């Protein structure tokens, strides 16, 4: 499991560090805050989620990025979540809706686990270079002996580096 985790982490770093050509290259940084829910073995738990986020626009409307989220459930789950994000065309509005997906690694007391993550949301501009996101992420986490289902509803702030 540790070998797979190391390989996936290395792949994430390589993909995010590659200089991809295109006229749209922009870097965005921010933070997220919200609620997270885990369902496992007929039980569920709710907690808060907080963490930094960053993404890189390598082609118009296409981004790669990563979130690092800390959750307050038992075992203090920490999620490393690289993603691919695609922005939808929405004429006549300033909001920018997106769909995204990727995998995630969970570091929890008792082990490291792999999961899949899918979701979407929208960015709402509030000032030059500043947006407020509304985001929904969900997916399975493959834990020892069972699968856990994860759901996060978050907001935060996002800044476009000049």
Q: Quick check: 53 and 158 in contact, CB under 8 A?
A: yes
Length of the chain: 162
Where does residue 70 rank: exposed (0-12), middle (13-18), buried (19+ CB within 10 A)?
A: middle
pTM for this entry: 0.82
CATH number at residue 10: 2.40.160.20
Number of domains in the chain: 1
pLDDT in tens for each of the 162 residues of the chain? Answer: 555 555 545 545 444 445 544 456 899 999 999 999 999 878 899 999 999 999 999 999 999 999 999 999 988 999 999 999 999 999 899 999 999 999 999 999 878 999 999 999 999 999 999 999 999 999 999 988 888 999 999 999 999 998
* Domain range for 143: 2-160
In sequence order, what DSSP letters do the residues of 82-137 get, joined into one string?
EEEEEEPP-TT-S-EEEEEEEEEEEEETTEEEEEEEEEEEEEEEEETTEEEEEEEE
The Cα 108–Cα 124 span in angstroms is: 33
Where does residue 149 rank: exposed (0-12), middle (13-18), buried (19+ CB within 10 A)?
A: middle
Beta bridge partners of 103: 116
The Cα 121–Cα 87 span in angstroms is: 10
């Amino acid at each position: 499991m540790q070998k797979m985790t190391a390989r996936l982490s290395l792949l994430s770093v390589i993909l995010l560090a590659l200089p991809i050509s295109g006229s749209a290259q922009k870097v965005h940084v921010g933070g997220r805050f919200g609620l997270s829910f885990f369902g496992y073995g007929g039980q569920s738990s709710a907690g808060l989620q907080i963490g930094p986020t960053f993404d890189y626009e390598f082609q118009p409307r296409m981004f790669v990025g990563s979130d690092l989220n800390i959750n307050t459930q038992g075992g203090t789950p920490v999620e490393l979540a690289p993603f691919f994000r695609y922005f939808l065309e929405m004429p006549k509005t300033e909001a920018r809706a997106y769909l995204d997906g990727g995998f995630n690694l969970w570091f929890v007391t008792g082990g490291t686990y792999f999961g899949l993550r899918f979701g979407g949301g929208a960015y709402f501009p509030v000032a030059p270079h500043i947006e407020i996101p509304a985001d929904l992420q969900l997916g399975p986490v493959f834990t020892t002996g069972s699968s856990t289902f994860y759901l996060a509803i978050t907001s935060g702030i996002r800044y476009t580096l000049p």
